[in-house]
Structure formats: structure tokens, C-alpha cells
Amino acid sequence: MNSISANLNIMIKASEKASKILIKDFGEIEKLQVSRKGPKDFVTNSDLKTEKIIIEELKKARPNYSILSEEEGIENNKDKNNTWVIDPIDGTLNYLHGVPHFAISIALKSHDQIIAGLIYDPIKDEMFYAEKNNGAYLNNQRIKVSKRNKIDDCLFVAGSKISFDKDPLIRISGCAALDMAYVAAGRYDGYFQKNLNLWDVAAGIIIVQEAGGILNEINLSSINDVKIIASNNSISNKFIEKLKNF
């Protein structure tokens, strides 16, 4: 097993604890699909509960770190150079519809860099993580981006529809964090999406980088309006060329 930092260990523990509620609530969602009110309020509540557990756990271990999270927003604490960036349920619409493709995403931003990232898919029990200069992992196994270098051989994933002159294969999965994790693991060859929030992609950024992938330049001081183009290094130039008007 690879050695991990104390901070990553804290992130893992927080996501594992929060995932218990998430799995339990997901099991209830199917029943709620037929109720008059539907599961929407229930899901909002799951989102809040999950985030609360994650923040509690992280704060217990690192009380001074600042926080940026989907539900709570910005919480500036004593240590403004270290910020936990949290998305308690990425892929909320999947979750709401009972589609088992969503994840918890936690990153640690230190100064102007993401230095650790974790994306946990509790249903498939797949934990993707990376730390700066220490490689990317899926459940303790090292992961690498794919080596495909021909557009026609590639499978890409996107956040929304886009048309090309000659369409490459593109999926839309509904979970930005897992899209990036899957690029890192070589399952997809590239991913692109606009109008994201930093918490959607913060963990994915370092996981893709540490898996040997290529990312566009991302301004980590902007919280909204984040654009991502991520891919394996072999297809990167052709992929960017395809997306020149994106």
C-alpha cells in the first residue's frame, strides 16, 4: 500500500463516515419516487446532512482550516491558506432519480494549489485519490490515464451536448467529479464542461494531473464559471483542437 498524508487520511475518514448516510438515504429514494411530494426535499436534506458530517469530521482534525462547500459556501477561518473544498453529492440529479452514479468530492487547496483530492463513489465503493507528486490511486491501486491517441478510438465524456463536424463518441454522465476520476483511471479519454463550480472539480484536478493527464489552465481563485478540458496526454492536442470553439 502507498503511504498517504495525515490530511488525506482525514479526508478518507470523513468521506467514509458521510457515505453511510448517503447509502442509507439512497436506498429510500426508490420508495419516494412514487410519493406525491417526490424525493426532492429528501435529497436536499441528504445533501445537507452529508455536508454537515464531512465538515464536522474535517473540523475536528483541522479546526483552523477554511472551508468552501456547495451548501454552506465560504467559511474563512484562522488559516486562510488551507481550504477544504467540498461537494457532498456531486451528481445530485442522478441521486434524485435513483441512478447510482454520484460521488462525494473533497479537495485540499493550499495557497493557490490543490494538493490533495478524493472522489468517493459509495455505491460502487470506488475511492479515487491523489496527492501532489505522489500519484493517483483507485482503492490503493495506482491509476494512469489512457494511451489512446486517435480520436476515433476514444470515448469522451461531457457535461452537456455539443456538436462537432464529425462527432466523436461522447457520453454525458451527470457527475463531473466521476467524469474526471474516470479520465484519470483511463476509462474515458477526455472530459469537457463549462460553467462548473470549484467544488465540482477541485479533487478531480489533482487526480487527473497525478494520473498523467493534461488539463487546461484553471484559475483556482474563481469559484464559479470554471471550464475544464481534461484528457490523456496522447490525445490532448487533437482534443483541444476539436474543442477550439468550446
User: Which of 159, 168, 204, 213 lies at the binding interface for ligand 2AM (CB under 6 A)?
Assistant: 159
| 18: contact with ligand 2AM by CB under 6 A | no
The whole-angstrom separation of Cα 152 and Cα 2 is 35
State the minimum distance, in angstroms, from the CB of residue 6 to ligand 2AM.
28
With respect to ligand 2AM, which residue has the nearer C-beta, 117 or 159? 159
Residues 187-206 close enough to bind Ca ion by CB under 5 A = 200
Residues 65-104 close enough to bind Ca ion by CB under 5 A = 87, 90
H helices, E strands: number in the chain: 6, 13
With respect to ligand 2AM, which residue has the nearer C-beta, 43 or 151? 43
Q: Are strands 136-138 and 214-215 parallel, antiparallel or unpaired?
A: unpaired
Point out which span in 78-86, 119-127, 140-148, 170-178 binds ligand 2AM (CB under 6 A). 170-178
User: Minimal CA–CA distance to 18: which of 90, 115, 110?
Assistant: 90
Please state, in angstroms and as integers, the Cα–Cα distance from residue 116 to each residue in 42, 85, 113, 174, following that order.
Answer: 31, 10, 9, 23
Using CA of residue 75, residue 122, residue 103, residue 190, what is the dihedral sign? positive
Point out which span in 33-41, 54-62, 87-95, 142-150 binds ligand 2AM (CB under 6 A). 87-95
Point out which span in 135-143, 192-200, 203-211, 237-245 binds ligand 2AM (CB under 6 A). 192-200
Q: Residue 133 CA to chain centroid, in angstroms?
A: 19
The whole-angstrom separation of Cα 183 and Cα 200 is 15
Q: What residues line the site for ligand 2AM (CB under 6 A)? A: 87, 90-93, 159, 174-176, 196-197, 200
